Each structure stands twice: as structure tokens, then as C-alpha cells.
A and B are shown apart, each in its own frame.
Chain A
Amino acid sequence: MRDKIWFMVLVLGVIGAIAGVALAGVKTLTDPVIEKFTLEQKVKPSLEAFFGPIGIDNDYIADRVTLELGKDDIGRMQRLTVFKGKKGGAITAVALQTAAPGYGGDLTVLTAFDIEGGAILGVKTLDQKETVGLGARVGDDSEPFIQQWAGKTYAKGVALSSDGGEIDAISGATISSTAFTEAVNKAVTLLGARNAEIMGE
């Protein structure tokens, strides 16, 4: 029986099916853990630092929404996670999680906006696969490249100084710096384009 084609196909099929189910199961188990890790270890401390000084008083981690933005040209569903910062029940600040393709993969950035003041509160890299020592420096909060973002106005978008803007890139890491700026720009654009959904309850 082991030599029959139908048996071989059956064995492959059954093992494949079981494997598929097992993997889907593990994925559903680990997804929340991964998300929780990013939220606790990266988003929370950063938002504490950004939202704190302007008096935000809600639980902005719990007060988050994820919007589906439609598929990009590769067919991937674009998602936007919005963290709402409220003062006395009204939204005065938001943080948007966006991504842009970097050197080694997608660069995921969290940008905090002071809606009232019209300036960027701060930025944080949530995930990156850039070159260690060069592009990967975007992952370091104390890096001048990251620090310079705080206080920049965003009404007209943001750009690298080499493109006529105000942001100084990391020398030797043009691709990573450009990708980072692109991610922040995406956040700026979405803040305007999807304002109703973002600010709505």
C-alpha cells in the first residue's frame, strides 16, 4: 500500500493539513504575546515620555484603534494603529504607528502628535532590521536623529534636509533615514486624510 500513488498523496496531504492547523494554532497563541510585548516595552514608555508633559490623563494603551487602510500595491493590507491621548475626555494628542520599507525590511515608527500645539511630540522606532552601527541607530532613543524630531511642526509635512526639509539624516545611513522620514510623513498624511476616523470615538 505504501507504494501506491494515492497513498503517498494522502500521507502528504494529511500531514500537510495537520501541520497547517498546528501552525495556525501556534500563530494565534503567539500573536497576542508579540503585540503585548511591543505595547508594554516600547509603546508605553515612549508615550509616557511624549504625552506626560502635556497632561494627558487617559489610558492611551487601552484607548487605541486599528484602522484598515486598504491594500498596497503588493497586496498587503495596510493597517494604522492610533493611540489616543485625552485630556479631560477630549482628544488633544494622538500617536500613529506607521511603517516604510527600509534597508533590511520594514521600519515601524511611532509618531506622537500634539494636536493642539501643532507639533510633533516625539518619535520611536518599534521595529527595524537595519544595519547594526549605521541604520540600526534609529532604534536608539538617545540618537540625535531621533531627538531632533521633537518640536518640529508638521503642517506642511516633514522632509530630510537633503530634500529641502529640516531633518538631518544619519550620516552613512541614508536609506534608513529616508525610510524613517517616509514613515513619519505617512503618519502626517494620514492624520490629515483620515482625521475624522482618527479623532472620532
Chain B
Amino acid sequence: MTAYMLLIVSAILVNNILLAQFLGNCPFLGTSNKMSTATGMAMAVTFVMTFAGAITWLVQRYMLIPYELEYLQTIAFILVIAALVQLVEIVLQKTAPALYQALGIFLPLITTNCAVLGVAIINIQKNYDMMETLVHSFASAIGFGLALVIFAGIRERFVLSRMPKVLQGTASGLITAGLMALIFQGFQGLF
């Protein structure tokens, strides 16, 4: 049990997927302008990342390894993720239209979210079993969502303050992200 707790704390705080491992930046800077878009993206990513982690693990274990095709990992994984996102879109549209509407265009964008593919690859690199993969994928997504939501909160405040024109938009966003990353770096001494 402690092993899993460590895994969770590590994934969310110490090795935050976004602020420490740099995965998931494109959507980060694009969707963190408003709280509502940020939470939508966070939910969508959590959903997809967890499932993608599990399925890619299965693909690696039962298709790539037995046939010695590990070098095709990148192709196999990205196709799985793309297909998964399509599938999720179709299923949600039919069974939970409200949720589908809430997630909006973020769902297809998740295919190119480097965090999803990145976490899938890391699960394999670290030799996690299925349970660890699920925990790690889910926790990483939570970490991503956490950073995203905090960021959105800050950026919403920015709009109300006076900022030099050259800093507006992405520039100030990046510098803020840097400060956040600095803060999260403080977690490294946790254990």
C-alpha cells in the first residue's frame, strides 16, 4: 500500500508530469485561460490517460513483447491512443451527451497531448505491472489537472491586472509556469 502512496505523491507533486517532466505543454498554455476550459481539459485527460495507460500496457505485454516487436512501440502506442480517443468520442456522444458537450473539442486534442503518449512509454520503461500502471497513469493525470487548474486561476486574475503589452498572453503564461515549476521543485526533498 505504501508503495502505491509513494507512487501517487511522486506522480502528482515530485515528478509532476507538466511542471517537472515537460509533458503536456501545448494544451497547457492553450486551455488555461479560463477555469472552465481548464477543468474540462483536466477531466478529459484524466479519463484518456488512465485508459490509454492500461491498454498500451496490454499491447506491449501481449503483442509487442511476444513477437519481439518492441521497436514498433511508438507507432503501436500512438495508434492505440488515436483509436481510443475516437472510440471515446463516439461512445460518449451516444451514451453521455452532456459530458460529451462539456468536454467539447478537448477530446480530439488529447491525441496529440504528449503527456498521454509520454506516460504510456514511461509505464513500460519503469517496468510497472498493471496495477502500478493504472495508479501511475491516473495520478499523473491528476498532477496535470492540478497544475492546469492552478494556472488557470492565476491567469484569470492576470486579465484583470495591468500588464505590459509585450508580456500579455503566452509570454507571461510561460514565466508564471516557470515560477510554478520552481515551487513544485521544492517537493523534491519530500523523500
Which A residues contact B (CB, under 8 angstroms)? 19-20, 23, 27, 74-77, 101, 103-106, 129
Contact = CB atoms under 8 A, between A and B. Distances in A.
Shortest beta-carbon contacts, A-B, top 7: A101-B127, A75-B66, A105-B125, A75-B65, A76-B65, A27-B71, A104-B125
B157 interface: no
Contacts of A105: 125-127
Interface of B is mostly: helix
Interface string B45-76: 00000000000000001100110100110010
Contacts of A101: 127
Contact of A74 (B61, B72, B126): B61
Interface in B61-107: 61-62, 65-66, 68, 71-72, 75
B63 to A, nearest CB: 10
15 contacts: A19-B75, A23-B71, A27-B71, A74-B61, A74-B65, A75-B61, A75-B65, A77-B68, A101-B127, A103-B126, A104-B125, A104-B126, A105-B126, A105-B127, A129-B125
Given A74-B61, A74-B65, A23 B72 contact: yes
Contacts of B68: 77
A75 B64 CA distance: 10
Contacts of A20: 72
A105 B127 CA distance: 7
Most buried by B among A20, A74, A77, A106: A74
Nearest to A20: B72
B160 to A, nearest CB: 42
A19 B78 CA distance: 14
A129 B122 CA distance: 12
Contacts of B62: 75
Nearest to B74: A23
